[in-house]
Amino acid sequence: MERRIYIFDTTLRDGEQVPGARLNTKQKVEIAKQLEKLNVDIIEAGFPCSSPGDLEAVKAIARDIKNPVICGLARAVKEDIDICWEAVKEAAHPRIHVFLGSSDIHVEKKLRKDKASALRMASEAVRYAKSLCGEVEYSTEDASRSDFNYLCDVIRAVVKEGATIINIPDTVGYAIPDEFGALIRKIKENVQELDSVTLSVHCHNDLGLAVANSLAAVKEGANQVECTINGIGERAGNASLEEIVMALRTRTPLFAVHTGINAKEIYKTSRLVSRIMNIPVQPNKAIVGSNAFAHSSGIHQDGILKDRRTYEIIRPEDVGIKQHAIVLTARSGRAALKHRLGELGYELEKDVFQRVYKRFLNVADRKKEILSDDLVSIVEVELTKVAETYSFVNLQILSGNDITPMASIALKKGDDIITDASIGNGPVNAAFNSIERILGKTGQLLDFDLKAVTHGKDALGEAMVRVKIEDQVYSGTGTSPDIIEASARAYVNAFNRYFANHK
Ligand code: KIV
Ligand code: ZN
């Protein structure tokens, strides 16, 4: 009998700790809805006591999402646990996740306690959480660097107080697969009390081993894995959900386990998270990178044409990457566009569809064929747009290798079209300066990423920016066959996020 592995997604909590990736409630709910379609078992929706915004977002997710367990994180203190319960209590399946350091360095240096009092603190916190919520998870933070006997004592104590899930985190990504697998085996052998609870793991990627460590733990009996879409998270990130799920699925006979994940939603989820959080996916990223299924060498292409299995262990369609028969061009009508959007899994509300259609025609006028990735990019930019204080109208650039680049931009605010121009040290810089002149506000560009969504000379360009405006970082995205226009649209998008927060 195959064991069931529960997939605990922490994109909205550990993933959201990435600098500049902070989301508002609407964005978090949108990702949570997609995670529900992906059929994750648990959504860790946030850390409710960290800010009023996070509390509101977790509450909204708890109200809107019906199937997965909705979990909130709390430190092992009453105030955090109360706020966490306030956030998750309306969920169909709520869970409180309490954590406390268990390694010497965490107990002595961070908590400034001795082990006995840290253990008491853990027990009291779990007892209190259990008085509010039937499902309580306890994480022994920094477990992989903890004294083994103390770790077992903590686990026994919190299970006695009612913890139903015990999570063993490799908080600093220090573990090596054999060692981490052995730790899970030893914990299971030494703590009989674990027979009645779910044993979970949570691995960070500081040594690039988060997925390998998680898989080693699954082999040794862990039955919940904590992970994030695209592997995003603190520092080098968390274990990537798509890699774990596809490894377990591709090598089922080896692991003898299964998950409930609807793998066909993987690609769409990856794109959505990348776009909303403004964190690009590296091209060679396993499963979801743009090159993950691209065969470029002649020998490989020959093999693929004869039998895909020669060089492909996963079919792109298994993770939701589709090839389509109908070619979309500027002559395609609304029906064809709607049909393709349906195939890609989008059911858009009327006004969003209208905006997508308008943008589709604008791009199709300048690009021969609109491929699925182009369309996904257009749709996601429209879906993740905040209410636009300023909308992009047009752009003119004068640039060359021996003239000073100049950009003239027109933006619309209400019924007014405002135009201004500026020079810069390059055309993108000139465009950004013109935008700032119109807005009467300056920003500090922290990150600028530009990539082609598809291949070929007429590929759609996708720009992502991260801009510090006053004391906060705002991200923006923009797409266009013209990369300066894509960049300008992304810059305006970032400022619109600022204006949406400062009404
Ligand atoms: O990495 C970690 O230890 C965590 C815990 C809160 C589970 O994120
Ligand atoms: Zn973590």
Q: Is 169 in the pocket of ligand 1 (CB under 6 A)?
A: yes
What is the pLDDT at residue 326? 67
- State in Å: Cα 224 to ligand 1 middle: 14
What is the pLDDT at residue 324? 62
In tens digits, the chain (503 residues) has pLDDT values of 789 999 999 999 999 988 777 788 999 999 999 999 999 999 999 999 999 999 999 999 999 999 999 999 999 999 999 999 999 999 999 999 999 999 999 999 999 999 999 999 999 999 999 999 999 999 999 999 999 999 999 999 999 999 999 999 999 999 999 999 999 999 999 999 999 999 999 999 999 999 999 999 999 999 999 999 999 999 999 999 999 999 999 999 999 999 999 999 999 999 899 988 888 898 899 999 988 887 767 787 778 778 888 888 999 999 998 766 567 888 888 988 998 888 777 889 999 999 999 999 988 888 878 888 788 888 888 887 778 899 999 999 999 989 999 999 999 999 999 999 999 999 999 999 999 999 999 999 998 988 887 767 778 888 989 899 998 888 888 989 899 999 999 999 999 989 988 87
Which of 487, 470, 471, 467 is CA-nearest to residue 479?
487
Cα 218 from chain centre: 23
| Pairs from 336-342 (Cβ < 8 Å, separation ≥ 24) | 337/375, 340/372, 340/375, 341/375, 341/379
Which of 39, 260, 7, 48 is CA-nearest to residue 133?
48
The label of the residue with tokens 């923009």 reads: 478
- State in Å: Cα 237 to ligand 1 middle: 11
Q: Determine contact, residues 213/177, Cβ cutoff 8 Å.
A: yes
- State in Å: Cα 205 to ligand 2 middle: 10
- State in Å: Cα 99 to ligand 1 middle: 7
- The best mutation among 171, 205, 214 to test binding of ligand 1, ranked by most ligand atoms within 8 Å of the C-beta, falls on 171
What is the pLDDT at residue 353? 94
What is the pLDDT at residue 318? 95
What is the residue with the minimal CA distance to atom 8 of ligand 1? 14
Q: Is 75 in the pocket of ligand 1 (CB under 6 A)?
A: no
Q: Determine contact, residues 424/405, Cβ cutoff 8 Å.
A: yes
Q: Is 405 in the pocket of ligand 1 (CB under 6 A)?
A: no
What is the pLDDT at residue 323? 67
Q: Is 141 in the pocket of ligand 1 (CB under 6 A)?
A: yes
From its phi and psi, is residue 453 left (phi > 0), alpha (psi between -120 and 50) or beta?
A: alpha
**73, β-bridge pairs:** 97
Dihedral over alpha carbons 13, 14, 16, 18 (to 10 degrees): 160
Q: Determine contact, residues 310/304, Cβ cutoff 8 Å.
A: yes
Atom of ligand 1 nearest to the CA of 142: 3
Q: What is the sign, positive or negative, of the torsion defined by CA atoms of 178, 181, 183, 189?
A: negative
Q: Is 139 in the pocket of ligand 1 (CB under 6 A)?
A: yes
Q: Determine contact, residues 64/91, Cβ cutoff 8 Å.
A: no
- State in Å: Cα 48 to ligand 2 middle: 16
The label of the residue with tokens 């477990």 reads: 143
Instruction: Please state, as a whole number, how many other Cβ atoms lie within 10 Å of the Cβ of residue 375.
Output: 24
- State in Å: Cα 90 to ligand 2 middle: 25
Instruction: Please state, as a whole number, how many other Cβ atoms lie within 10 Å of the Cβ of residue 455.
Output: 11
Atom of ligand 1 nearest to the CA of 238: 1
Q: Is 99 in the pocket of ligand 1 (CB under 6 A)?
A: yes
Atom of ligand 1 nearest to the CA of 167: 7
- State in Å: Cα 460 to ligand 2 middle: 35
- State in Å: Cα 237 to ligand 2 middle: 8
| Tokens linked to 140 | 């022994």
What is the pLDDT at residue 18? 83
Give CA–CA dist 418/63, Å, rounded: 42
What is the pLDDT at residue 299? 80
Give CA–CA dist 86/93, Å, rounded: 14
What is the residue with the minimal CA distance to atom 1 of ligand 1? 171
- The best mutation among 13, 77, 165, 202 to test binding of ligand 1, ranked by most ligand atoms within 8 Å of the C-beta, falls on 202
Give CA–CA dist 20/46, Å, rounded: 16
What is the pLDDT at residue 285? 96
- The best mutation among 139, 151, 213 to test binding of ligand 1, ranked by most ligand atoms within 8 Å of the C-beta, falls on 139
Which of 405, 396, 395, 380 is CA-nearest to residue 478?
380
What is the residue with the minimal CA distance to atom 2 of ligand 1? 171
Give CA–CA dist 480/466, Å, rounded: 18
- State in Å: Cα 444 to ligand 1 middle: 32
- State in Å: Cα 464 to ligand 2 middle: 26
Give CA–CA dist 172/262, Å, rounded: 30
Which of 41, 130, 54, 135 is CA-nearest to residue 87?
54
Q: Is 202 in the pocket of ligand 1 (CB under 6 A)?
A: yes
What is the residue with the minimal CA distance to atom 3 of ligand 1? 171
What is the pLDDT at residue 325? 59
Q: What is the DSSP string of 37-70?
A: HHT-SEEEEE-GGG-HHHHHHHHHHHHH--SSEE
- State in Å: Cα 26 to ligand 1 middle: 25
- The best mutation among 49, 99, 166 to test binding of ligand 1, ranked by most ligand atoms within 8 Å of the C-beta, falls on 99
